[in-house]
Amino acid sequence: MRAMVIERTGGPEQLVAAEVPVPTRVGSEVLVRVLAAGVNRVDAEARAGLGDSAGVPVFPAVLGHDFSGVVVEVPYAAHALHVGDAVYGMAPFPRAGGSYAEYVSVPSSSVARKPATLSHVEAAGVPLAALTAWGMVVDVAKAHEGQRILVHAGAGGVGHFAVQIAAYFGAHVVATGSQRNAGWLRELGAAEVVDYDAVDLERTVRDVDVVVTLVDDVAVAEASLRVLRPGGVVVHAPTASYAGASVAAEAAGVRTTGFAVSPDAATLSVIARLLDSGDLRVYVDDVYDLDEAADAHTRLERCHTRGKLVLRVADE
Ligand SMILES: NC(=O)c1ccc[n+]([C@@H]2O[C@H](COP(=O)([O-])OP(=O)(O)OC[C@H]3O[C@@H](n4cnc5c(N)ncnc54)[C@H](OP(=O)(O)O)[C@@H]3O)[C@@H](O)[C@H]2O)c1
């Protein structure tokens, strides 16, 4: 099959097209013909040999976690999914991946029915980012009415889901983003938008119950501690800014935690219902062909994507 692989870690130029064997489906896995693959910052980190993904690849490594496509093989006849079903999902993270390819074989617990109203390109932009947002905002923060949640980088892949999900559950959402995204963030459900370039966060925002940090910046992490009410919590997605911040959090009388996303078919099914009902939207900023994955990584690493980037693997 056609795939985008890396032979070694490094810059986006390490991503090259190659012919590799179709993965063999084993155990409870489902084999999926991939029509589109979402691009995530964690893919770029795996490519560069950074973060949780450092040292994970066995070369040549097929990168990519998010996919949308069609079931080709199921583990057993009575399985809930059938050959030909349209599905979306997330390959295990960070140790395995493999969605930048024509086929991917993933545990049944990683794959759910695709939202019916979305194209495969749109659906491929959802899994890892929406599961991260759900995990931080619902599982950890327990988003609810009367709660004030600050989302740093509200316009990004994870952020645009976090803003919507927090607002859906009734929280008062404050989002940081650049001026060009302010109106859009309000449309997504942010009650307040803070232009991180122009405004001093600590002068503008206070008494926050939960900060969702999606920016890998120690200064942002430290400023976050000072906008929380006593006992509030910072939930960090980027692992790099967490270690230093945890000590400072204790001194400031607030709490802090990291977060690590897992594939979760049950939550993806709930997310699919919200997407189909229109309560949740995915924004795809740009679409690249599979063999343009390096261009997509270069764009992503400029850190100003609105929503998601997606690779088109095959025609729908
Ligand atoms: N722990 C986990 O399980 C997990 C899972 C997924 C992602 N992550 C991490 O979460 C982070 C976010 O991922 P992502 O996919 O959402 O990234 P992304 O899509 O690349 O984020 C891009 C967004 O960041 C915004 N931004 C850049 N600098 C900013 C700043 N200083 N303040 C506020 N916003 C800023 C940009 O907004 P403007 O264009 O308006 O500037 C842009 O919309 C990454 O560090 C990623 O590695 C962790």
Q: What is the pLDDT of residue 57?
A: 65
Q: What is the pLDDT of residue 58?
A: 78
One-letter amino acid for residue 132 of the chain: T
Looking at per-residue confidence, does 200 or 147 come out higher?
A: 147
Q: What confidence tens digit (pLDDT) does each residue in 164-178 have?
A: 999 999 999 999 999
Q: What is the pLDDT of residue 218?
A: 84
Q: What confidence tens digit (pLDDT) does each residue in 93-109 have?
A: 877 789 999 999 999 99
Residue the block writes with tokens 């809930």: 80
CB-neighbour burial class of residue 97 (10 A; exposed 0-12, middle 13-18, buried 19+): buried
Look at ligand 1, atom 12, and give the residue with the nearest C-alpha. Answer: 214
Report the separation in Å between the CA atom of 76 and the middle of ligand 1, taken as the mean of its atom positions: 39
Q: Which fold has domain 129-257?
A: Rossmann fold (3.40.50)
- Is the whole-model pTM more than 0.75? yes
**241, 256, 304, 306: residue to mutate for ligand 1 pocket, most atoms within 8 A of CB:** 304
Q: What confidence tens digit (pLDDT) does each residue in 249-283 have?
A: 899 999 999 899 999 999 999 999 999 999 999 99
Cβ of residue 155 lying under 6 Å from some atom of ligand 1: yes
CA distance linking residue 48 with residue 287, whole number of Å: 22
Q: What is the pLDDT of residue 245?
A: 73
CA distances from 218 to 38, 162, 224, 236 (A): 28, 21, 10, 11
CA distance linking residue 34 with residue 252, whole number of Å: 47
Q: What is the pLDDT of residue 93?
A: 83
Model confidence band, residue 290 (pLDDT cutoffs 50, 70, 90): very high
Cβ of residue 224 lying under 6 Å from some atom of ligand 1: no
* Domain spans, the chain: 2-126+282-312, 129-257
Q: What is the pLDDT of residue 269?
A: 98
Q: What is the pLDDT of residue 301?
A: 96
Instruction: Name the token pair of 124.
Output: 């491929």
Q: Which fold has domain 2-126+282-312?
A: Quinone Oxidoreductase; Chain A, domain 1 (3.90.180)
Q: What confidence tens digit (pLDDT) does each residue in 112-160 have?
A: 999 999 999 999 999 999 999 999 999 999 999 999 999 999 999 999 9
CA distance linking residue 155 with residue 30, whole number of Å: 33
Cβ of residue 238 lying under 6 Å from some atom of ligand 1: yes
Q: What confidence tens digit (pLDDT) does each residue in 49-98 have?
A: 887 766 666 789 999 999 999 999 999 999 999 999 999 999 998 777 89
Q: In whole numbers, what is the pLDDT of the chain averaged over residues?
A: 94
CB-neighbour burial class of residue 231 (10 A; exposed 0-12, middle 13-18, buried 19+): exposed
Nearest atom (ligand 1) to Cα of 181: 40
CA distances from 191 to 130, 163, 171, 177 (A): 20, 10, 9, 13
Cβ of residue 196 lying under 6 Å from some atom of ligand 1: yes
